[in-house]
Amino acid sequence: MITSLLFLIQLYLAFGVAGLVWPDKFMPLFGILMFPWPASYRVIRINGIAAIGAYLVLVGRILIAGL
């Protein structure tokens, strides 16, 4: 359970940073995931920032809870 949670947290960080560094590589994926709406670099950048924010919240919660 804890290992899968830590893996999920690492995925948040990896995809958040990758979305900020290589938004053009994520454009086809977001084109499929957001089908009725067109994917844009702004949406990919916002998603990357939100994923890094989720990573920081989860890491902070783990550190405070003393996992």
- Interval 5-63: pLDDT, tens: 788 888 888 888 888 888 888 788 777 877 777 778 888 888 888 888 888 888 888 88
Domain that holds residue 41: 2-65
pTM of the shown model:
0.74
- The answer for residues whose C-beta is within 8 angstroms of residue 18's C-beta and 6 or more apart is 25, 26, 48
Domain count, the chain: 1
